Each structure stands twice: as structure tokens, then as C-alpha cells.
């Protein structure tokens, strides 16, 4: 059991304890930090008392809410996690907190099965899987800090079919484009379909993102919450872009995800075609570019994917597409 002072001024203790996980005894390493040396010494005394009495370092009577609050405070101070990742974590916990048991001792496979059955009535399996990823990441972090023992280490959430849905046909995309209510909406629709940017990347584009060589610099979500910069080739635009400020706005204001979604779905209803989402345009862009001759490596670089498997999903769908590199026709004049 070691105590040392960190460069930040806090005090840290490292220790090992024997824990029971998955029905087996294991030696786990734990690390905890404290604001003062007194708090660290008190924790060391408590650990020694628990070891002599045969008690675990911490009890699983701790509340799930407490575990999440500790982990969320860590994410807030971490430079390796983006604001977008923190927002996704907060949304997942908002759903989990409504139906999860109060303490970790009550988090059993039966309780988790009940949670899955309840949530399956309202959301898709992919949403439930993401919620379990958030819960698992939280409990794994708390376990390494000696807060608890993760009771769901081997619990498997529902399997998800990762095959992307079939893309919208060129005729339907053109009909949606023609029924958009404003030129700002048409610019947004056309550009996302041409570049395949995520909405967050599209909405934050500024004039200084245009780089020499007709390329566009964008910052995507990357992996593990760490933003990643990439450069993509700009398409030939049928409209002009502003020389300063945001490149795409709605009446001078930054686009909101829900606002653009409302515009697109209203156009879908007016055109009499199936409703699509903003992110569906990214799937369309990937499929049409692959059908137009772009190879998988170029597709991964363009869309910011690091996994070959993600790009591979679009191969079978692209074979059903006849018009590669399709883009809506801009109104004449």
C-alpha cells in the first residue's frame, strides 16, 4: 500500500486486494486520490481495518447514482473526452436512472433482463446496447478506484444487426430536395449528401475550414470521445459560400439538428416518400460514393472511419445502386 503526492497537489494511494468476481477470486489493483494527506491516511487505516476483519475494500451496497457521479466528475476534468461524449453519457444515464436498481447489490442478471424487456418496447436494440456500454464503462472505472466490484462484467446486452438500412433512391432524394422550404435547407441537404459529414461537423463549419487545394478541414468525433481532424475534397458547388463566419446557417443563425430534421421530414411528407433522418444522408453519401468507384480505403479516409468493418457494410448495398456519385439537381437560375 503506497501513498504519494501528485503534481496536481492531490494525494494518491495504490493498493491490491483480493476480490470475488464471476465466481472466482482475483487480485485487483486499485487507485484512489484525495484532496489532503489526512484523507489518504484515513482511507489507509480503513483499508487495514477491513483487511484484518476479512471485509472487502468496499461494499457493493454503494448506490449506482454515487458510482455515476464519481465517474462523471472524472469525465468533466478529463481532456481525453469531448463534450459530445459527455452529452451522450448524460443522456444514457438519464434513461438508466429511471429503471435501474438503487444499489449495485441489486444489479443482477434478472434485473438487467427486466430492464432490457422494458426498454425494448420504446427504443431499438442499438440504443439499449449504448446504454449498457455507458453503464459498463462507469462501473469498470469505479472498480479500478476501489469504489465497487463491477457486477455486470459478463452480462451480454442484446445483439444488434449492424447492416445499414437500404438507401433512398435518387428519384426520392430529388423529390425531397425539390420540396424543401428554403434555399438554406437545400444548401444543407445538398452539402451533407455531397460530403457525407455528420451533422455536428457540418453545423460547425467556418470559412477558415477551407484549405488550399480545394480541401475542407473538419473535426469529427474520432474514437473513445477524442476529436479527430481530417481533410476531404470539396465537391463542385452549385452555390456560393460566405467568406467569413459559419458556412451554412438558417437565416443567419447556426443550424440545429432538430430544425434541419423538421425541414427534411416536412419535405418527405410533401413529396409523398418515406421519412428520412439527417444522418441517413451520410449513409446515402457513403453508398453512392462506393457505387461511383471510390475504393474502401478512400471511403474510410473520407468518412473518418478507422474500422475496415464499418466501410465493408456498404459494399453489398452499393451493388444495388445504379447511379454512383448521385447529387440532387440544383434549381436553374
CA atoms within 13 A on the CB side of 178: 13
For the chain, 333 residues long, the average pLDDT of each consecutive 10-residue run is 86 79 67 86 83 67 85 88 86 89 84 87 85 90 82 76 77 94 94 92 90 84 70 89 92 92 95 93 90 88 83 80 83 74
- Beta-carbon contacts of 91 under 8 Å, excluding residues fewer than 6 positions away, are none
3-state secondary structure of 146: coil
DSSP 63-86: BHHHHHHHHHHHHHH-SSS-HHHH
Is CATH 3.40.50.300 correct for 170-318?
Answer: no
DSSP 108-141: -HHHHHHHHHHHTTTS-HHHHHHHHHHHHHHHHH
**What pLDDT digit, counting tens, does each position of 171-184 carry?**
999 999 999 999 99
**What integer pLDDT is reported at residue 319 of this predicted model?**
79
Alpha-carbon radius of gyration of the chain: 25
Domain residue ranges of the chain, discontinuous segments joined by +: 1-57, 60-161, 170-318
End-to-end Cα spacing for the chain: 76
Contact 244, 207 (CB under 8 A): yes
244-274 burial: b if 16+ Cβ within 10 Å, else e = eebbbebeeeebeeeebbebbebbbeebebe
Contact 15, 30 (CB under 8 A): yes
The burial class, CB within 10 Å (0-12 / 13-18 / 19+), for 129 is middle
**What integer pLDDT is reported at residue 333 of this predicted model?**
61
The CATH number given to 60-161 is 1.10.150.130
Contact 177, 273 (CB under 8 A): no
Q: What span, in angstroms and rounded, lies between the C-alpha atoms of 179 and 165?
A: 23
Q: Do domains 60-161 and 170-318 have the same CATH topology?
A: no
229 forms beta bridges with: 219
**What integer pLDDT is reported at residue 224 of this predicted model?**
56
Q: What span, in angstroms and rounded, lies between the C-alpha atoms of 298 and 308?
A: 11
Contact 260, 185 (CB under 8 A): yes
**What integer pLDDT is reported at residue 225 of this predicted model?**
56
CA atoms within 13 A on the CB side of 264: 24
**What integer pLDDT is reported at residue 271 of this predicted model?**
94
**What integer pLDDT is reported at residue 273 of this predicted model?**
94
Q: Closest Cα to residue 164, out of 266, 45, 315, 325?
A: 315
Contact 249, 184 (CB under 8 A): yes
Cell numbers 434549381: residue? 331
Q: Is the pTM of this model over 0.75?
A: no
Contact 184, 256 (CB under 8 A): no
Q: Closest Cα to residue 84, out of 201, 202, 221?
A: 221
**What integer pLDDT is reported at residue 174 of this predicted model?**
94
3-state secondary structure of 237: coil
Cell of 125: 436494440
Amino acid at each position: 500500500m503506497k501513498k504519494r503526492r501528485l503534481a496536481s497537489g492531490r494525494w494518491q494511494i495504490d493498493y491490491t486486494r483480493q476480490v470475488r468476481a464471476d465466481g472466482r477470486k482475483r487480485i485487483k489493483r486499485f487507485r484512489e486520490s484525495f484532496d489532503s494527506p489526512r484523507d489518504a491516511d484515513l482511507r489507509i487505516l480503513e483499508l487495514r481495518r477491513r483487511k484484518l476483519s476479512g471485509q472487502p475494500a468496499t461494499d457493493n451496497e454503494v448506490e449506482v447514482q454515487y458510482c455515476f457521479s464519481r465517474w462523471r466528475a472524472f469525465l468533466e476534468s478529463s481532456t481525453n473526452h469531448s463534450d459530445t461524449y459527455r452529452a451522450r453519457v448524460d443522456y444514457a444515464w438519464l434513461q438508466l436512472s429511471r429503471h435501474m436498481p438503487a444499489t449495485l447489490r441489486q444489479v443482477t442478471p434478472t434485473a438487467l433482463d427486466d430492464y432490457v424487456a422494458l426498454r425494448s418496447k420504446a427504443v431499438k436494440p442499438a440504443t439499449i446496447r449504448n446504454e449498457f456500454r455507458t453503464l459498463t464503462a462507469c462501473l469498470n472505472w469505479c472498480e479500478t478506484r476501489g469504489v465497487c466490484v463491477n457486477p455486470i462484467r459478463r452480462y451480454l446486452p442484446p445483439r444488434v444487426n449492424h447492416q445499414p438500412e437500404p438507401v433512398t433512391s435518387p428519384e426520392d432524394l430529388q423529390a425531397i430536395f425539390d420540396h424543401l422550404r428554403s434555399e438554406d435547407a437545400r444548401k444543407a441537404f445538398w452539402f451533407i449528401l455531397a460530403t457525407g459529414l455528420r451533422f455536428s461537423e457540418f453545423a460547425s463549419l467556418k470559412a477558415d475550414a477551407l484549405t488550399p487545394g480545394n480541401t475542407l478541414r473538419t473535426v469529427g468525433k474520432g474514437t473513445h470521445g477524442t476529436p479527430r481532424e481530417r481533410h476531404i475534397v470539396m465537391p463542385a458547388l452549385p452555390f456560393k459560400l460566405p467568406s467569413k463566419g459559419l458556412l451554412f446557417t438558417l437565416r443567419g443563425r447556426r443550424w440545429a439538428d432538430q430544425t434541419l430534421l423538421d425541414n427534411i421530414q416536412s419535405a418527405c411528407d410533401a413529396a409523398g416518400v418515406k421519412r428520412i433522418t439527417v444522418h441517413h444522408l451520410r449513409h446515402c453519401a457513403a453508398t453512392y460514393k462506393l457505387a461511383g468507384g471510390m475504393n474502401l480505403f478512400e471511403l474510410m479516409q473520407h468518412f473518418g472511419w478507422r474500422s475496415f468493418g464499418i466501410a465493408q457494410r456498404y459494399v453489398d448495398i452499393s451493388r444495388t445502386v445504379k447511379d454512383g456519385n448521385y447529387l440532387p439537381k440544383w434549381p436553374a437560375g
